A and B are shown apart, each in its own frame.
Chain A
Amino acid sequence: MSQPSNFPPHNGSAVGARIPMVDSVDKVTGAGKYADDLTLPGMLVGKILHSPHAHARIRSIDTSAAEQLPGVYAVATGRETPVKYGILPIGHDETIFAVDKVRYIGDNVAGLAADSEAIADEALRLIDVDYEILPGYFDPEKSMEAEQDLIHEDKPRNIEKEYHHHFGDVEAGFAAADYIRHDRFECAEVTHAALEPHSTLARFDSQGTLTVWSSTQVPYYLMKTLAATLQMPESKVRVIKPLVGGGFGGKSEVIPLELAAAVLARKAGHPVKITYSREEVFYAHRGRPRQTVELKTGVTREGKLTAVEARIVQDGGAFCGYGVVTILYSGQLLNAMYDIPNVKFDGYRVLTNKPACGAMRGHGTVNTRFAFEQQLNMIATVLGIDPVEIRRRNLLQAPCITVNGLRVLSYGLPECIDKVAGQSDWNEKYGKQRFGKGIGIAGSHYVSGAANPIIRAQMPHTTVNLSADEKGVVTIFTGASEIGQGSDTMQVQIVAAELGIPVDRVKIVAADTALTPVDLGSYSSRVTFMAGNAALDAARNLRQVIMAAAKKSTNAGNQLTFDDAARLAIGPNETLTAAGTYAPPKDAQGGKFKGAGVGPSPAYSYSAQVAEVTVDTETGEVRVDRITAAHDCGKAINPINVEGQVIGSVWMGLGQAVQEEMVWEGGRLMNPGLLEYRSASTHESPPIDPIIVESNDPEGPFGAKEAGEGSLAATIPAVAHAIYDAVGVWINTLPITPEKVLKALEEKKKTGVRS
């Protein structure tokens, strides 16, 4: 105990430690501040006028009455701020407020800032908009037939983007198959429903600098988009991310209120805060699109995959958002899970007159994974192969590069499968329980960040700065965004471990574009791998800086503790600072074909899950009794947080599997609230047993890769499979409501067919 930890060799004890999150006291005491908790002197309430029509031309907007209402400081409309933006460089199709046209019920028509919410509401009612109604497109297949009144004039047939990929030779693959099946899957649209509604506070200071506090997962992109749309230099825009009450992808692109607040603050000459109502959150949306998957898979008699062909259509809503990435992920990540030699993919991202879809936990992979795993289980059933075994027969031989150019180094899937099968007593239960009780298995995977950045620039994806003082206190300056997933804690643990100091000696300043270096944001599960690697790199560099300085005053060399070294190192001319960066290696960046940029990642996480259910055969109700989830996260920097992410992903997948759905009537959302969009209560939430599998990725920080999203996708097919095992029906449409189960049971009784 008295022996100080050696320095420079890291002792690593902080990595793998089950420590509380570094911001946990702020959260349990209520002291922590989220965007809507912030106030500034003279602050006004901002509100947005939304379109009541799904598709209409704006003939005119008369804001004069609203402007004259006492207590109203500013009113803004689309004509004033026509700069187009979007999260993807190829998808700049949004404006802060609608210019000439509205494209969905809830679209942003005008904004205003007033002394109080009541005045703002009254002023909204005084804005007179003259609309010319246009025909709306609500179904992607029909939307693709459109010849006129296009949603965006530059998108013929209302197709945002289509991709046609062919790797290997699927015809030869199907010819070599002994069994081919073709199924159609439909997945309803779901949304993040983070408990914190979006909120943004914007202020211009006397120097003309804009500061924005916002509930965002992407402060850096927000800063850039604010500068672009407000036509200001980036040096005059500062974005600060306070605590964020859940993201799940819903705050991973720029959301209209963030820009509207800034526009209004500039116009009003006062700070302006806009906080969405829960209903507005549903219109801002950016969740998982409704998706149909027509899937054709060929296998040999032994169950070895020979070819896969998928036609995927996504109902993307009225704007691109992340849509191009979503549709690409849905095809590209058919691979990197199993060994599939021949793959064909036809993907259509289609525009409709509904709120834009975007990235949601498991971005792009979830619905395709449901279809694939469900079909694999169907195939196993038909061929009489155990579903666990059929997966073992199709494993990748990692390290490898898939037919579509994805590099897989660490591959914990086999261990995940073994562990969940073992812990759930698979062999004793599968096909052996009473009618109504079932068990099912499925797998999934996900990227640890995208190997290619959204913005086209050759720069690190993350930079982390460190500074130390003579007491050995280290401060991390990082752009990475803590959104509840443990980003800050992860970096503190990595730095502490590398320097061999206690975690409470490490402070962290994060996600403030004026103080912290560039990080691309918290999305695509990139933070542990990328910010973690940058933090590790910075810590290694800091160690060298301090050692070099300390050696000037001692001969003790490598036997110094960090504390001694820091004390010795400090001198009138020493700066104990260091930076670290991360950029993915070239050989992880994928192939050269159109669309090849999406899918490649420096590392993939793997998950296998077993779900156990009880089905009420009279009501169709499915009770999920337990889910066992093994997740290969490479290395658990903080096992509590990894378990929390795995459990949370499983639970969110379960919601999509059996309960959650955005219900549309044409372009009208029927359930824009938490009463009717049914996020599960404790009662529907089963015990979830996480199993951490550590494959030690060769490039991950301490071997770590993603943990926050990859488990979600496996839950849905595992539950669907368990329902089949329980009552003998495959349900291929999500969510698997009691009504659908009951209908399938009746159908089965009528036809007597056991599929």
Chain B
Amino acid sequence: MKKESVRLHINGKIRELEVEPNRILLDVLRQDLELTGTKRGCDDSSCGACAVLIDGEPQMSCLMLSVSYQDQEITTIEGVADGSELDPLQRGFAIEGGAQCGYCTPGMILTAKHLLARNPEPTDQELNEALSGNLCRCTGYVQILASVRKAMELLRAKRPLEVQPR
């Protein structure tokens, strides 16, 4: 199988590499680019541990051919913090015990990030729905939901007053 040159836009950087066309993005991230924060849980799109953001939207990298994602911006968990400053979601997960074993955490945080970007004040139902494709085996989701709510609180404190919801 011939390798192809691909240009992937990952976490604000352009990564150029040679890959076989049958390579799955999850493998390329983990094996070729050492971005191992993206996890393999089931490898068949049932668990969401491999979620990355594609143009800001959570999708599952275990389903993606890397050659087919050259035009879109890919964000992995490694691209979420702003330098050494943790994202409010990352802080929320640490503070509220949202990460026990930590294996679903990257996918959860990325999925929640998309939700809060579109809807800064989701209801419990919206939160449940948004996270319903990410399985967690440790927390029963209770502390994950608390973590996202903590992040909402942190974000609220950062938002200018006029856009704060009543």
Measuring CB to CB, which residues of chain A are less than 8 angstroms from any residue of chain B? Answer: 20-21, 23-34, 36-37, 39, 192-197, 243-248, 275, 277-278, 483-486, 640-641, 643-644, 647-648, 650-652, 654, 673-675, 679, 681-683, 685, 687-688
> Of A246, A640, A647, A673, which contacts B46 at CB under 8 A?
A673
Min CB distance B109 to A, Å, is 6
Once the chains bind, are B139 and A194 in contact (CB under 8 Å)? Answer: no
Min CB distance B113 to A, Å, is 12
Once the chains bind, are A246 and B138 in contact (CB under 8 Å)? Answer: yes
B64-116 interface (Cβ within 8 A of A): 76-78, 80-81, 86, 89-91, 93-97, 99-106, 109
- Counting residue pairs across A and B whose Cβ atoms lie within 8 Å, the total is 170
Taking CB atoms, residues of chain A closer than 8 Å to B35 are 30
Q: Does B38 contact A (CB under 8 A)?
A: yes
- Beyond known contacts A30-B78, A648-B139: 17 more, CB 8 A cutoff: A20-B94, A24-B102, A27-B99, A28-B90, A28-B99, A30-B77, A30-B105, A196-B41, A196-B103, A245-B39, A246-B101, A278-B42, A647-B142, A647-B143, A651-B141, A675-B44, A683-B128
Once the chains bind, are A674 and B46 in contact (CB under 8 Å)? Answer: yes
Taking CB atoms, residues of chain A closer than 8 Å to B81 are 29
Please, how many angstroms separate the alpha-carbon atoms of A26 and B86 in the complex? 11
B112-166 interface (Cβ within 8 A of A): 127-129, 131-133, 135-143, 145
Q: Could you pull out 21 A-B pairs where Cβ atoms are within 8 angstroms? A: A21-B100, A25-B86, A28-B90, A29-B77, A29-B81, A34-B39, A37-B30, A195-B39, A195-B103, A196-B101, A196-B103, A246-B103, A246-B138, A484-B102, A647-B143, A674-B46, A679-B135, A681-B135, A682-B127, A682-B129, A682-B141
Min CB distance A630 to B, Å, is 16
Min CB distance B54 to A, Å, is 17
Number of B interface residues at 8 Å Cβ cutoff, please give it. 55
Q: Does B47 contact A (CB under 8 A)?
A: yes
Once the chains bind, are B47 and A29 in contact (CB under 8 Å)? Answer: no
> Of A23, A644, A650, which contacts B138 at CB under 8 A?
A644
Q: Does B57 contact A (CB under 8 A)?
A: no
> Of B93, B96, B140, which contacts A648 at CB under 8 A?
B140
> Of A21, A29, A247, A640, which contacts B86 at CB under 8 A?
A29
Once the chains bind, are A640 and B103 in contact (CB under 8 Å)? Answer: no
Question: Which chain A residue shows the least CB distance to B37?
Answer: A30
Question: Which chain B residue shows the least CB distance to A27?
Answer: B102
By Cβ-Cβ distance, the 5 closest A-B pairs, closest first, are A30-B37, A651-B140, A484-B101, A27-B102, A245-B103
- Most chain A beta-carbon neighbours within 10 Å: one of B41, B100, B105, B145: B100
Once the chains bind, are B139 and A647 in contact (CB under 8 Å)? Answer: yes
Q: Does B25 contact A (CB under 8 A)?
A: no
Once the chains bind, are A682 and B131 in contact (CB under 8 Å)? Answer: yes
Taking CB atoms, residues of chain B closer than 8 Å to A651 are 139-142
Once the chains bind, are B44 and A29 in contact (CB under 8 Å)? Answer: no
Q: Does B10 contact A (CB under 8 A)?
A: no
Please, how many angstroms separate the alpha-carbon atoms of A39 and B35 in the complex? 12
Once the chains bind, are B103 and A37 in contact (CB under 8 Å)? Answer: no
Please, how many angstroms separate the alpha-carbon atoms of A105 and B165 in the complex? 57
Once the chains bind, are B90 and A29 in contact (CB under 8 Å)? Answer: yes
